[in-house]
């Protein structure tokens, strides 16, 4: 790290660009949490790269002072993978929406879980495609109809947590955009985790989703906050012995069960975590040099390849 | 025809040993100081469908095949007669008709072909008992013959017979066999040697004193040459260029290159990642390029279709690369997965929506494939664009003899890198408008160089911006890079006018057709007074329109030669120069042009306007 003192939230502030999100959007909460988490993580802005997909959430890198790539719809995980493998010294944060990650990017969501490259993935999950004016996203449940939809949804929602478990994600958490302190803590934990860390972040879309509103999460209709912290109830999603298949299965089953909990009580926090070899570990097992040297430092343009040529003589 | 120009064919069902037999023999010829060219035709099939290698050797450089077959080593009757002629389309017509009068066919006796039923009385038939020959060789070593263990050595029999036919020292084959066997199987080398010798003797007995019309003379005074396929040459070039990250998704005929590189990961500084599809491959490579690494991916047409959006993304965000090697195969759609074509030129020129700069370069042979792959990384860095290296199945799978790949000493150019701002007052601008037309790039991790860039239209600072003036500035900046490339890339890299400056006929081409064209020109000029040259255009985007127009205007007669239906280079030339080339030789059979076909096109007295649709027995 080039800076002598630890960075503060201010170091991640952008002054020449202002969010054009709607008032009351959960994106603000996630942006603030990202900046605070980066400061807590103690990485200098130039050591961080935020990679985003397309949609309202995709604009996030424009509002945080780090390196940033605002990429394509559904391809954020591909780009983040390339960035991280190219330069392992970077703290890589992938950011995208629910449509981006669970719809158009669903194939990459699954395969990124299998690959377990060391980066953090934040999914802004609001149930709708906001930037195209409120169509149902993959997390919109069957039968639901928000005000922007002409008809109720006639297909089932994807279960992001369940999909993440079966895809092999090694850190799976759920956050809420309006619960700042908890979200900051989750993002820090996710960054500290070795491997791909997913946080599915529930957030209101005040313009198009009139069902998953702040009032809904507050539970105005039922008299108590719907979201609750798993940790408060003694839930422990961490696999303490990754070689113990029984523990793995039990923890995955518990997380899956929690992922279906919806309605009056919505669980928040780390649902599942396990320490498993990352993709980088796999590469290192093939070539030990990779452990110490990022690709960008290891490459030697113009190097002598005559020994390879000679193999063909 | 030079006396030692020999055309040998090895054919049989896929999985029966055609590949190793061919690779062993071609290597033996190369080691004997001969120039070698081989190409392979195979089906999209693992086991059973017809596959054949043409192995051509000569005492001068050759880069294409000829139609005739001097010696045919057939592993089954289909190789000789083809498939059932009563099918709607006979899958192939066999190679019997390609064997020259006085040529030879070597076949296993159990296939049941005799001189009486062969159907040709002007061809020598060597029908040898392969299993018996192997058995006697095995027993000579005091071992009991075991078909499960030893039958595989039957592949040595036709090679031994071939050596007898061509008066080629059979012991030249042994070291190649030994090199291919793993350490634990080295004890099989002496048995293989015996098989080769027994086969040699058996063939010799059939031939008697009469001998055979052709011989294979070693040229041991020649320098040691490489025998290498295009996909390997391109892989080596990537390492030479410092490419540290290669992504791919399995696809014929491109994945051979990535698999070759995968095997080198332990000792060379590259990570090869097999992605979930080509969308992922492309965008991973773009991410790695932005993060400061020379990155590449390789694919064929169907995969490049999926890479389209990534091309536009890389270009608008001014990523330094990646380099995309596109091995063309027969399209559209799944098309002819294992066959050759030049059908993707127009697609490569405009692979995605919108208007954006990128580079398309088409190397013509194995050395150019290596050298232009290296240069592609320089261009990607220097102009901050994705670069398409347009190769094809012919380049990927053909073997060529070369002294070296010519990589040593090629320059390494990373373009303008932002090294920090002395006073730190000005915020870094990733897409800065500069007099050079290119913005110095900051490599992520550099303090003070933080930037954001986006697939949206953006400002110099990389912020999303839809303002009209900004749009004009950024479009002009990006598209202007095409003019800079044309100015800076040396003309000898952009195109070559090969052959006589004053020619009766100028063949206009791009890509690998250079190989049969050059061989055919040499042949025709040797046999007649016709003077022919070849304008081989490598740089297809940006297109050197002025230089090409000048050459075309001075030519006496123009002929366009391409491996596609539409004459895609002709369309590009018409668009860029206004010149329509009327005379065309177009082939879209999925098979590459042979030297003979090009020679025939050259010799035609009347202009050719119809497509060449030469029928091959394949």
Note down the domain range covering B430. 416-489
DSSP code, position B288: H
Mutate to test the interface with B, among A14, A308, A310, A311 (most CBs of B within 10 A): A308
In a domain, B197, yes or no: yes
In a domain, B337, yes or no: yes
Assess whether B281 and B393 both reside in one domain.
yes
Assess whether B393 and B254 both reside in one domain.
yes
pLDDT at B3: 54
What is the chain A residue with the closest CA to B271? A283
Final residue of a domain: which of B165, B181, B210? Answer: B210
pLDDT: is B586 or B618 the higher one?
A: B586
In a domain, A78, yes or no: yes
For chain A, what is the domain count? 1
In a domain, B617, yes or no: no
pLDDT at B209: 85
- Is the Cβ of B386 closer than 8 Å to some Cβ of chain A? no
pLDDT at B485: 98
CB contact under 8 A, A299 and B286: no
Residue B103 has pLDDT above 60, yes or no: yes
* B399–chain A nearest CA distance, Å: 11
Mutate to test the interface with B, among A4, A46, A74, A82 (most CBs of B within 10 A): A82
- Is the Cβ of A309 closer than 8 Å to some Cβ of chain B? yes
Final residue of a domain: which of B469, B489, B509? Answer: B489
- The Cα-based distances of A3 to A192, B11, B108, B446 in angstroms read 20, 67, 76, 12
- Radius of gyration for chain A, computed over Cα atoms and rounded to the nearest angstrom: 20
- Is the Cβ of B275 closer than 8 Å to some Cβ of chain A? yes
pLDDT at A4: 62
pLDDT at B319: 98
Assess whether B499 and B572 both reside in one domain.
yes
pLDDT at B420: 81
pLDDT digits (tens, 9 = 90+) for B253-295: 999 999 999 999 999 999 999 999 999 999 999 999 999 999 9
Assess whether B557 and B455 both reside in one domain.
no
CB contact under 8 A, B443 and A296: yes
In a domain, A305, yes or no: no
Question: What distance in Å separates the CA atoms of residue B159 and residue B163, rounded to the nearest whole number?
Answer: 6
Assess whether B557 and B512 both reside in one domain.
yes
In a domain, A1, yes or no: no
* A5–chain B nearest CA distance, Å: 14
Considering only the beta carbons, identify the residue of A49, A293, A301 that sits closest to B242: A301
Considering only the beta carbons, identify the residue of A61, A110, A302 that sits closest to B412: A302
Final residue of a domain: which of B177, B210, B243? Answer: B210
Considering only the beta carbons, identify the residue of A287, A305, A313 that sits closest to B240: A305
In the stretch 356-385 of chain B, residues with CB closer than 8 A to chain A read 377
Assess whether B191 and B91 both reside in one domain.
yes
In a domain, B306, yes or no: yes
Considering only the beta carbons, identify the residue of B288, B377, B452 that sits closest to A61: B452
List of long-range contacts for B254-258, beta carbons under 8 Å, 24+ apart? B254/B298, B254/B299, B254/B300, B254/B303, B254/B325, B254/B326, B254/B327, B254/B396, B255/B298, B256/B229, B256/B231, B256/B232, B256/B396, B256/B397, B257/B231, B257/B232, B257/B298, B257/B325, B257/B327, B257/B396, B258/B298
In the stretch 195-224 of chain B, residues with CB closer than 8 A to chain A read 224
Give the percent of chain B with pLDDT over 70: 97
Residue B115 has pLDDT above 70, yes or no: yes
In a domain, A3, yes or no: no
- Is the Cβ of B466 closer than 8 Å to some Cβ of chain A? no
Q: Judge whether B289 and B315 are in contact, CB under 8 Å.
A: no
In a domain, B260, yes or no: yes
Considering only the beta carbons, identify the residue of A82, A87, A309 that sits closest to B283: A82
pLDDT digits (tens, 9 = 90+) for A54-94: 999 999 999 999 999 999 999 999 999 999 999 999 999 99
pLDDT digits (tens, 9 = 90+) for B452-491: 999 999 999 999 999 999 999 999 999 999 999 999 999 9
CB contact under 8 A, B280 and A75: yes
What is the chain B residue with the closest CA to A283? B271
Residue B610 has pLDDT above 70, yes or no: no
The DSSP line for B566-587 is S-HHHHHHHHHHSPPP--EEE-
Mean pLDDT over B51-68 rounds to 97
- Is the Cβ of A51 closer than 8 Å to some Cβ of chain B? yes
pLDDT at B609: 47
- Is the Cβ of A45 closer than 8 Å to some Cβ of chain B? yes
CB contact under 8 A, B269 and A298: yes
CB contact under 8 A, B455 and A70: yes
Mean pLDDT over B508-534 rounds to 97
Which three-class secondary structure state does DSSP give residue A8?
coil
Tokens of B340: 């050759």
In the stretch 410-439 of chain B, residues with CB closer than 8 A to chain A read 410, 412, 414, 427
| CATH code at position B284 | 3.40.50.970
Assess whether B471 and B360 both reside in one domain.
no
Residue B607 has pLDDT above 60, yes or no: no
pLDDT digits (tens, 9 = 90+) for B407-423: 999 999 999 999 887 66
Residue B593 has pLDDT above 90, yes or no: yes
| CATH code at position B543 | 3.40.50.920
CB contact under 8 A, A71 and B455: yes
Considering only the beta carbons, identify the residue of B291, B309, B462 that sits closest to A82: B291
pLDDT at B4: 80
Element (H, E) at A9: none
- Is the Cβ of A218 closer than 8 Å to some Cβ of chain B? no
DSSP code, position B612: P
Model confidence at B611, in pLDDT bands (50, 70, 90)?
very low
Mutate to test the interface with A, among B307, B445, B451 (most CBs of A within 10 A): B445
Comparing CA positions, the residue from A22, A25, A87 lying closest to residue A51 is: A87
CB pairs below 8 Å between A and B: how many?
A: 209
For chain B, what is the domain count? 4
- Is the Cβ of B291 closer than 8 Å to some Cβ of chain A? yes
CB contact under 8 A, A304 and B408: yes
Note down the domain range covering A243. 9-295
CB contact under 8 A, A75 and B427: no
- Is the Cβ of A301 closer than 8 Å to some Cβ of chain B? yes
Phi, then psi, of B17 in degrees rounded to 5: 110, 10
CB contact under 8 A, B271 and A85: yes
- Is the Cβ of B247 closer than 8 Å to some Cβ of chain A? yes
Assess whether B188 and B174 both reside in one domain.
yes
Q: Which residues on A lie below 8 Å from B228 (Cβ)? A: 309, 312
| CATH code at position B181 | 3.40.920.10
| CATH code at position A72 | 3.40.50.970
Question: What distance in Å separates the CA atoms of residue A233 and residue B348, rounded to the nearest whole number?
Answer: 58
For chain A, count helices (H), then strands (E).
12, 10
Assess whether B393 and B423 both reside in one domain.
no
CB contact under 8 A, B283 and A67: no
In a domain, B611, yes or no: no
Q: Which alpha helices (DSSP H) does B384-463 contain, by range?
A: 393-397
Assess whether B549 and B461 both reside in one domain.
no
DSSP code, position B441: B
In a domain, A266, yes or no: yes
Assess whether B139 and B245 both reside in one domain.
no
Residue B317 has pLDDT above 80, yes or no: yes
In a domain, B219, yes or no: no
Residue with structure tokens 């993935």? A121
Side-chain half-sphere CA neighbours of A300 within 13 A: 9
Give the percent of chain B with pLDDT over 90: 92
Assess whether B265 and B204 both reside in one domain.
no
Mean pLDDT by 10 residues, chain A (313 residues): 75 94 97 98 97 98 98 98 96 98 98 98 97 96 96 97 98 98 98 98 97 96 97 97 98 98 97 98 90 82 97 97
pLDDT at B617: 38
In a domain, B408, yes or no: no
Residue B101 has pLDDT above 60, yes or no: yes
In a domain, A301, yes or no: no
In the stretch 133-172 of chain A, residues with CB closer than 8 A to chain B read none
In a domain, A309, yes or no: no
- Is the Cβ of A290 closer than 8 Å to some Cβ of chain B? yes
């Amino acid at each position: 790290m080039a800076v002598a003192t630890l960075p503060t939230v201010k170091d991640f502030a952008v002054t020449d660009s202002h969010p054009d999100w709607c008032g009351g959007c959960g994106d603000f909460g996630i942006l603030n949490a990202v900046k605070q988490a980066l400061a807590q993580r103690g990485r200098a802005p130039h050591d961080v790269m935020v990679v985003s997909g397309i949609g309202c959430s995709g604009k996030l890198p424009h509002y945080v002072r780090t390196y940033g790539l605002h990429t394509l719809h559904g391809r954020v995980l591909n780009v983040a993978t390339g960035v991280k493998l190219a330069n392992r010294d970077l703290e890589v944060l992938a950011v995208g929406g629910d449509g981006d990650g669970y719809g158009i990017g669903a194939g990459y969501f699954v395969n990124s879980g299998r690959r377990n490259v060391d980066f953090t993935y934040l999914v802004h999950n609001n149930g709708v495609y906001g930037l195209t004016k409120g169509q149902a996203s993959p997390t919109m449940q069957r039968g639901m109809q928000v005000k922007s939809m002409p008809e109720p949804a006639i297909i089932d929602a994807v279960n992001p947590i369940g999909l993440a478990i079966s895809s092999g994600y090694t850190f799976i958490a759920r956050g809420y955009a309006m619960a700042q302190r908890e979200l900051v803590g989750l993002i820090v934990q996710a960054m500290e985790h070795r491997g791909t860390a997913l946080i599915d972040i529930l957030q209101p879309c005040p313009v198009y989703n009139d069902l998953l509103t702040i009032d809904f999460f507050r539970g105005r209709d039922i008299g108590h906050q719907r979201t609750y912290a798993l940790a408060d109830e003694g839930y422990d999603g961490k696999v303490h012995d990754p070689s113990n298949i029984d523990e793995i299965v039990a923890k995955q089953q518990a997380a899956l069960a929690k992922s279906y909990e919806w309605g009056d009580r919505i669980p928040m926090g780390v649902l599942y975590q396990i320490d498993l070899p990352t993709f980088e570990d796999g590469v290192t097992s093939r070539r030990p040099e990779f452990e110490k040297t990022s690709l960008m430092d290891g490459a030697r343009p113009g190097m002598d390849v005559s020994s390879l040529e000679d193999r063909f003589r | 025809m030079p006396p030692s120009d020999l055309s040998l064919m090895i054919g049989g069902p896929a999985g029966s040993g055609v590949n190793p037999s061919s690779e062993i023999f071609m290597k033996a010829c190369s080691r004997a100081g001969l120039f070698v060219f081989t190409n392979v035709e195979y089906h999209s099939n693992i086991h059973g469908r017809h596959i054949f290698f043409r192995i051509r050797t000569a005492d001068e450089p050759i880069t294409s095949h000829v139609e005739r077959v001097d010696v045919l080593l057939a592993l089954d009757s289909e190789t000789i007669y083809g498939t059932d002629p009563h099918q709607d389309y006979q899958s192939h017509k066999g190679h019997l008709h390609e064997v020259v009068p006085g040529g030879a066919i070597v076949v296993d006796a159990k296939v049941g072909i005799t001189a009486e039923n062969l159907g040709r009385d002007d061809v020598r038939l060597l029908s040898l008992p392969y299993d018996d020959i192997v058995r006697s060789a095995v027993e000579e070593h005091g071992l009991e013959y075991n078909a499960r263990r030893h039958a595989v050595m039957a592949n040595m029999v036709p090679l031994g017979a071939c050596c007898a036919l061509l008066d080629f020292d059979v012991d030249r084959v042994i070291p190649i066999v030994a090199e291919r066997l793993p350490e634990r199987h080295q004890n099989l080398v002496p048995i293989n040697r015996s098989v080769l010798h027994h086969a040699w003797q058996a063939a010799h007995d059939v031939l008697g004193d009469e001998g055979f019309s052709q011989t294979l003379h070693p040229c041991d005074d020649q320098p040691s040459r490489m025998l290498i396929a295009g996909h390997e040459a391109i892989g080596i070039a990537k390492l030479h260029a410092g490419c540290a990250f290669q992504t791919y998704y399995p696809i014929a005929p491109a994945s051979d290159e990535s698999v070759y590189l995968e095997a080198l990961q332990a000792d060379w500084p590259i990570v090869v990642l097999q992605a979930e599809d080509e969308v992922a491959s492309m965008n991973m490579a773009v991410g790695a390029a932005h993060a400061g690494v020379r990155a590449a991916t390789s694919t064929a047409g169907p995969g490049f279709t999926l890479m389209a959006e990534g091309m536009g993304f890389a270009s608008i965000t001014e990523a330094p690369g990646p380099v995309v090697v596109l091995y063309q195969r027969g399209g559209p759609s799944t098309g002819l997965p294992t066959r050759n074509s030049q059908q993707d030129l127009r697609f490569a020129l405009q692979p995605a929506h919108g208007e954006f700069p990128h580079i398309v370069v088409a190397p013509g042979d194995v050395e150019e494939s290596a050298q232009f792959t290296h240069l592609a990384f320089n261009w990607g860095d220097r102009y901050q664009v994705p670069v398409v290296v347009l190769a094809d199945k012919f380049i990927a799978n053909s073997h060529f003899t070369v002294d070296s790949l010519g990589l040593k000493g090629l320059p390494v150019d990373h373009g303008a890198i932002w090294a920090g701002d002395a006073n730190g007052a000005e915020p870094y601008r990733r897409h800065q408008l500069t007099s050079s037309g290119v913005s110095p790039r900051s490599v992520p991790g550099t303090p003070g160089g933080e930037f954001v860039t986006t697939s949206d239209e953006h400002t110099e600072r990389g912020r999303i911006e839809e303002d009209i003036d900004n749009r004009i500035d950024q479009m002009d900046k990006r598209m202007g890079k095409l003019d800079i490339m044309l100015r800076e890339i040396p003309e000898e890299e952009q195109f070559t006018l090969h052959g006589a400056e004053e020619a009766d006929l100028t063949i206009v081409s791009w890509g690998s057709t250079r190989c049969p064209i050059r061989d055919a020109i040499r042949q025709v000029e040797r046999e007649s007074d016709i003077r022919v040259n070849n304008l081989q255009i490598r740089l297809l985007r940006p297109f050197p329109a002025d230089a090409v127009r000048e050459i075309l205007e001075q030519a006496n007669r123009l002929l366009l030669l391409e491996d596609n239906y539409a004459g895609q280079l002709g369309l590009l030339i018409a668009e860029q120069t206004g010149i329509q080339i009327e005379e065309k030789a177009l082939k879209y059979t999925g098979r590459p042009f042979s030297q003979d076909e090009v020679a025939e096109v050259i010799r035609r007295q009347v202009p050719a306007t119809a497509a060449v649709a030469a029928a091959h027995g394949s």
